[in-house]
Amino acid sequence: MKELARRRRLGARVLKAVASALRLNILRLLYERGPMSYTEIMNVLKLSPTRDAGRFAYHLKTLAGMDLIEPDPESKKYLLTDMGRTLVEFADELDSNAFRRRLLVRTSRLAIENFDRNKIAESLIREAEVPVELAQKISREAEKRLMKLGTKYLTAPLIREFVNAILIERGLEEYRHKLTRLGFPVYDVSLLLKETSVRGENVEKVRLTAGSRVIEEYTLLNVLPRDIADAHISGSLNLNNLGTWILKIHGVMHDVRFFFRNGLIFKNFLDQRISLRPPRNLRSALSLISSMLQIASAEITKEQAIDYFNVFLAPFAQGLSIDEIKNNLQLFLETVNITIPTGISLGLETVLPSFLSETEAISSEGKTSGIYADYTEESQLVASLILECLREIGNTKPIFNPSIIVKMRPETFNDSNAERILFESHNLSLSGLPFYANLVSEGANAVSYAADGLRFSADWTKDWELDTIRTGCLDSVTLNLPRVAYEARKEKDHFFKVLSDYAEKGLRALDIKSRVILRRSQEGLLSFLLPKEAQDPYLRFQESTCILGFVGLNEATQAITNKPIYEGEEALNFAEEILTHLIQEQKAYLKNIKLRFALGLTPDFDVAKRLAELDVERYGLGDVHVSGGRENPYYTSMMAVPLEANLALDDLLRLESRFEALAPASHLIRIPLGESEVDTETLFATTQNIAKNHKIGFYTFDRTLTYCNKCEKTFFREATKCPECNSAGSILKFARESTRYEVKHF
């Protein structure tokens, strides 16, 4: 009993020792910061050395007398004893219990709970990998600050902001990055809803945009190195498709024979495995393709292409009437236009490529039936009927998806049926719809194009099947070439040093992208393209390309030489020197890794606009070279020569052909028609000229279209009201700023 009474008296004296708020603050200070000298403690507590010295010495003596602190003779600093540490933790627990009963927290799990600082420590340890002891100290500090707020309830984001502030104050920036909360401020969500409404888009677009924003922030903070993330944010380069950078690939070139032979196996929204048998007829073949495109779109950001479309469908068309083939094709085109969220490209062959003629043809139920040379007539019939369907559907309002790519080879102009198909396609070109792949100069090489400018050729393994189908583009990075010139102070020698730095960052970002996509595959998140259990996955990953793109070649050249590309050999040679340097940088980077990298012209107006706007903001309009003026600045993209140059067509094509050869991964020439009256014969003559005289690989005719919902008519010019009914509220404008037509609301 005497021992118990003695302990109680000692406990009472210990509690009395910390009854003073100042003494408790001294203990807490030593707990959080470790050993401190007499002067350091006074300074932190903001005590006066003259006025408060006596009182302060008394408090230290009291704490030392109760064995709560002790002096260190060597360092001449005060240390916290084990009893002192226990007492601080006990006092904090008392505060926490009282605080917890008073304060509620709205958690990110949409629940309301009592405040518990241990959950802060747990989050720090779990999310940011903060050491346990440090996490506990930070959670105590956060609790103290939150206690001073006097608010009725807390939210998870508010608590996280306080914790992040403490991490910044302590110089723990890396932990802060990992703990950052991703997402939209409330105002931005409201603004997104309004902007989506103005553009005439639906609620799904709001959801996708919000989700992309979170993935963008996560990628910049937690996936990419700081220098690459900063380069994107500042506008030195642009990580294209950043909202899906760690989830999807940019585009794919399908091989429908794979599905004709094996059928289609996939998981539905209930995670059930569904199997569709190989098609038995043309209708089921087209239905299978439509289903395949829909499923694949979940793993693809931009473009899905099917080359040799009419060739591979030809065996299913044998023996059918023209009306039956046409009806099935029309249903397919309309279904794809309505249901597939990505861009779709269909490659039509006017003649049978030599490398396909002896290939076994896949027909009903996945069986082989002769060779594709046996179905030349059906192949050309399917191509002709597709063009006819698009023309009939487009008599009111054109279909912009799927896009048709008409391919011409040397044999095209020696085959009357092939030449007729090529001529018919130019009826659609009056509204700018088809794209043309000029393979006349490619010889026997297999080359495939997608409507967004992607190009695949048999230049990697030299096998046309491995290099051009069942492959894709993982993604692309766009270099801001004018920024290189501005950063180099428009000095040519320094320009290439800066360019090397930009290129290295871009190539490293693409390298990271390829590894991230493989990781997603191993996690089972790309179950269609790259199923983790497959010995031979559908997508040939090693043959897929990564594109180092660029914008503003003309503007960068002008900044260094004081002349645009099209004014003299000096400027032209310097522009070619820029691309040659990028090719060399690419080769140097690939010495240690085996990835299919290639240089390409970026076909994205939004990227060119973003980078130009950032440069105007940074350097001022007077010190940059842009098109569009102050209100709408942008750099030249997709083509090397700006259309504003108003060059004669042959001169434009001659210049562009030089840059296509240096940037083979993606390119597209837009031949403007304006509002002038042109006919099919004139456009066909232009195509004949290109095939005969120019090494231009991919082009399209381009004009702005106006559509009236009331009259259901399309007009080949820009108008603010319908030329027939004078209605202004029913007008839509279709314009091609990048590769595809987009709706512009008046």
* Mean pLDDT calculated for residue range 448-460: 93
* Structure confidence by residue, pLDDT tens digits, 318-339: 999 999 999 999 999 999 999 9
List of residues 6+ apart from 553 with CB closer than 8 A:
481, 565, 575, 578, 579, 636, 640, 659
Residue 54: the pLDDT is 76
The residue with greater pLDDT, 368 or 709, is 368
> Which residues, listed in sequence order, are joined to residue 197 by a DSSP beta bridge?
none
DSSP label at 728?
Answer: S
The residue among 637, 298, 703, 638 whose CA lies nearest residue 451 is: 638
463 Cα distance to chain centroid: 30
Task: Note whether 602 and 478 are within 8 A (CB).
Answer: yes
Residue 106: the pLDDT is 64
Strands (DSSP E) found in 538-602: 545-551, 596-601
Phi and psi of 601, rounded to 5°?
Answer: -80, 130
> Which residues, listed in sequence order, are joined to residue 472 by a DSSP beta bridge?
252
Residue 182: the pLDDT is 66
Average pLDDT of every residue of the chain: 87
* Structure confidence by residue, pLDDT tens digits, 493-505: 899 999 999 999 9
Residue 28: the pLDDT is 78
* Structure confidence by residue, pLDDT tens digits, 519-574: 999 998 999 999 888 888 999 999 999 999 999 999 999 999 999 999 989 999 99
Buried b (16+ CB within 10 A) or exposed e, 675-688: eeebeeeebbebbe
- Computed on alpha carbons and rounded to an integer, the radius of gyration of the chain in Å comes to 34
Taking the C-alpha atoms of residue 509 and residue 381, their distance in angstroms, rounded to an integer, is 45
155 CB neighbour count, 10 Å cutoff: 13
Residue in the block written with tokens 């139920």: 365
pTM: 0.81
DSSP label at 68?
Answer: S
* Structure confidence by residue, pLDDT tens digits, 1-21: 555 555 555 556 666 666 677
Q: Coil, strand or helix: which one is 72?
A: strand
Taking the C-alpha atoms of residue 594 and residue 597, their distance in angstroms, rounded to an integer, is 9
Residue 351: the pLDDT is 96
- Percent of the residues in the chain that have a pLDDT greater than 70, as a whole number: 92
* Structure confidence by residue, pLDDT tens digits, 579-620: 999 999 999 998 888 889 999 998 889 999 999 999 999 999
Residue 270: the pLDDT is 54
Residue 65: the pLDDT is 73
H-helix or E-strand containing 159? Answer: helix 156-169
Taking the C-alpha atoms of residue 482 and residue 618, their distance in angstroms, rounded to an integer, is 12
Taking the C-alpha atoms of residue 711 and residue 395, their distance in angstroms, rounded to an integer, is 12
- Percent of the residues in the chain that have a pLDDT greater than 90, as a whole number: 53
Q: Coil, strand or helix: which one is 74?
A: coil
* Structure confidence by residue, pLDDT tens digits, 689-738: 999 999 999 999 998 888 888 888 888 888 888 888 888 878 888 888 88
Residue 94 to residues 29, 79, 83: CA-CA distances in angstroms?
A: 18, 23, 16
Task: Note whether 241 and 247 are within 8 A (CB).
Answer: no
H-helix or E-strand containing 7? Answer: helix 2-17
* Mean pLDDT calculated for residue range 102-109: 63
In this structure, what token pair is assigned to residue 565?
């590309």
